[in-house]
Amino acid sequence: MIGLSLTACVQNSNSPELQGSLHPDCVEEFDPNQDYFPDKLQVEFATGVEVDYYSHYKRVTLSSPYPEATDSIEYVLLHCGTPVPDDVGEATVIEVPVQSVVVLSTTYLPHFAALDRVDTLVGISDTTIAQTPAVVERVKQQKIRDVSRNQVVNVEAILNLNPDIVITFDAGGSSSDTVLMLENAGLQVVLNSEYLEMSPLGRAEWLKFTALFLNQEAKAREVFEEIRRDYQDLTQRVAEVISETNSRPTVFTGFSSTNTWYVPGGNSYAAQFLRDAGADYLWDDLSSQWTVPLDFEVVYQRARDADFWLNVNANWRTRADVIDDDPRYGNFAAWQGDRIYNNTKRVNDFGGNDYWETGILYPNLILADLVQIFHPDLFPDGEKTFYQKLD
């Protein structure tokens, strides 16, 4: 197991040709019979991305680049110094490996650390909330600049950095406006839709998407295989325990805000974690991939006797905080039994929560936390990475 603690030149495809960059990865004399990508990878768990390899380019397809998308988008990743293929179509052409990158979500930062390519990062969104150690160190050295704060993107700052690509997401609304603004500024935008994956391993496998732009397939395959093996071994151990005991503790999540309680649907990312950790999620029968709003009374009726309560208000540090917020919470058995846990153990002084950074790439660590909560006998001396009990 990995463990229970956390110890290029880019041009638009409408251009008739791409000019080779001067970095050492570029091909000086193109050989049409050579395979320029001997290290290939396949995508198994992520449903939103596919890659096809050709001798000197890769065609990457995002089937669902944003919610309710009706069309896919494609990137042709061209080995630097080789000719543009004839069948580009509407795809965006990007020379790889890229040499400088701006990312607008901290969830991508662990990818660059895992792939040993933090040196390609020149700008990130809100440097204050970053948690990945190698990234934080380069921020201190002023080798990575802040290009976004409070969800407001500084386009001028990004233009000054002149990155090969800007990796971001499009969730609709203002995020769509941001993507359009970046593109209108002449920046090469790459969409990452890992957040649409509803399985923990599916989200983690987007490491491979990042690796495609860096020609780091071999490293991505090695890292992800260890994560996959660790995660699946742990789910198997939990399944064996449940088979022996025929017992799955009940659990619910979230909290009420202005009398509306958002619960994850049974097909969601959060629900999959709880199932894999051997818990009986009380809204597993709710057929949705997203959170669903319910009244406080509806949640109380079903969850009042539940064994555990997870992922609560980030401002709650103690059980007293819970009932100070709303005295009705004191009627839940999980509150009375001191069984409330939150994923806030690794939150920095500026509110950056490593659960949503390191945890996305390493779901095996999150799963290990949950198993320690629901089935403590499996890890009697285990140290949780992201979760902590409310005092």
Tell me if residue 105 falls in helix, strand or coil.
coil
Per-residue CA distances from 144 to 1, 36, 190, 305 (Å): 32, 30, 19, 49
Amino acid identity at 112: F
Instruction: Give backbone dihedrals phi and psi of 300, rounded to 5 degrees, phi first.
Output: -60, -40
Residue 102: exposure state from Cβ atoms within 10 A (0-12, 13-18, ≥19): buried
Return d(Cα 67, Cα 335) in angstroms, integer. 36
- Predicted pLDDT at 381: 86
Judged against a pLDDT cut of 50, whether residue 237 lies above it is answered with yes
pLDDT tens across 97-141, in order? 999 999 999 999 999 999 999 999 999 999 999 999 999 999 999
- Predicted pLDDT at 150: 80
Judged against a pLDDT cut of 90, whether residue 149 lies above it is answered with no
Residue 173: exposure state from Cβ atoms within 10 A (0-12, 13-18, ≥19): exposed
- Predicted pLDDT at 298: 97
Length of the chain, please? 391
Report the share of the chain in percent with pLDDT over 70: 94
- Predicted pLDDT at 358: 98
- Predicted pLDDT at 383: 94
- Predicted pLDDT at 391: 94
What confidence tier does 209 reach under pLDDT thresholds 50, 70, 90? very high
Return d(Cα 255, Cα 245) in angstroms, integer. 30
The mean pLDDT of 24-36, rounded to a whole number, is: 93
- Predicted pLDDT at 22: 54
Give the torsion sign (CA, 19, 189, 210, 92).
Answer: negative
The mean pLDDT of 13-34, rounded to a whole number, is: 68
pLDDT tens across 179-202, in order? 999 999 999 999 999 999 999 999
Task: Report pTM.
Answer: 0.92
Return d(Cα 368, Cα 358) in angstroms, integer. 14
Please state whether 281 falls in left (phi above 0), alpha (psi between -120 and 50) or beta: beta
Query: In this structure, are residues 104 and 147 in contact, taking their beta carbons and an 8 Å threshold?
Result: yes
Task: Count other C-beta atoms under 10 Å from residue 149's C-beta.
Answer: 13
Return d(Cα 44, Cα 228) in angstroms, integer. 11
| Residue whose structure tokens are 């002149």 | 162
- Predicted pLDDT at 25: 83
**Average pLDDT over all residues of the chain:** 93
- Predicted pLDDT at 21: 44
- Predicted pLDDT at 4: 40
- Predicted pLDDT at 113: 98
pLDDT tens across 7-17, in order? 333 333 333 34
Return d(Cα 312, Cα 319) in angstroms, integer. 11
Q: Which residue has the higher pLDDT, 24 or 369?
A: 369
How would DSSP label each residue in 317-373?
-SHHHHHHH-GGGGGSHHHHTT-EEES-TTB-TT--BGGGTHHHH-HHHHHHHHHHH
- Domains of the chain in start order, with CATH, are 98-222 (3.40.50.1980), 247-389 (3.40.50.1980)
- Predicted pLDDT at 12: 36
The mean pLDDT of 294-323, rounded to a whole number, is: 97
Judged against a pLDDT cut of 80, whether residue 147 lies above it is answered with yes
Return d(Cα 9, Cα 341) in angstroms, integer. 47
Token pair for residue 344? 């806030």
